[in-house]
Amino acid sequence: MSDLLSLAALSATALTEGVRFLYDQAGELLRARREHRAEQSPVDTPPVVAEPAVLPEPDAASVERFSEELRALRADLHEFASGVDETDPSNPSLIRRVDALRTVLEAVYGTSLTFDGESRRDGPLRIHGRVDVDAVAGYVAAVRTDSPTGWIRGDLRVGSVEAGGEAIGIDLRNQR
């Protein structure tokens, strides 16, 4: 879950640094994809990123799946990242674009990206499950829990579900 208000509450300087960080990370992911680099070294995050201190290895399948979004969102932020346009926290269009790129990068890295001075309602990523399959004949869930606590995210991509099959992003069993 994104929190647009927390981004808008950042100072112009912090938001500018955050935009540059997101822009650079999207570019690095796209370069690694083009060069067919399977593994990437851990990346220390700059001081503007409160969490995490080090980015985990990106999920290659997610990079592939979101490559067009990464490219488009990066292009949308180019003038801000390069310093041509002012990074104004009161610009709702800018905030939505920054949040969209952050959300895609969080899916690729499997972790929350929280900027310094930001208070996100969803807090750090607690549970994240991901399923990417061509077909389901039985049951599949990205996350299945009896006791949901914290922030939960289930990413599910299924090509087809056969008769009698079930594909569920998040199965909160005690909530049925």
At a CB cut-off of 8 Å and minimum separation 6, what does 36 contact?
Answer: none
Angstrom CA distances, 16 to 48, 55, 121, stand at 10, 20, 22
- Give the residue-averaged pLDDT of 32-53: 85
Question: What does the pLDDT read at residue 86?
Answer: 92
Distance CA 24, CA 101 (A): 11
Query: With pLDDT > 90 as the criterion, what percentage of the chain qualifies?
Result: 41
| Confidence bin at 38 (pLDDT 50/70/90) | low
pLDDT at 49: 92
7 falls in which pLDDT band (50, 70, 90)? confident
Beta carbons of 95 and 7 less than 8 angstroms apart: yes
Q: Which two tokens stand for residue 58?
A: 């990106």
Residue 124: pLDDT above 70?
Answer: no
What is the per-residue pLDDT for 1? 40
E-assigned strand segments in the chain: 43-44, 49-51, 54-55, 114-115, 127-136, 139-145, 152-161, 166-172
Return d(Cα 156, Cα 158) in angstroms, integer: 6
- Whether 28 shows a pLDDT value over 70: the answer reads yes
Which residue carries 């914290």 as its tokens? 150
Q: What is the pLDDT of residue 175?
A: 57
Residue range 127-133: average pLDDT?
A: 80
Average pLDDT of the segment spanning 153-161 = 86
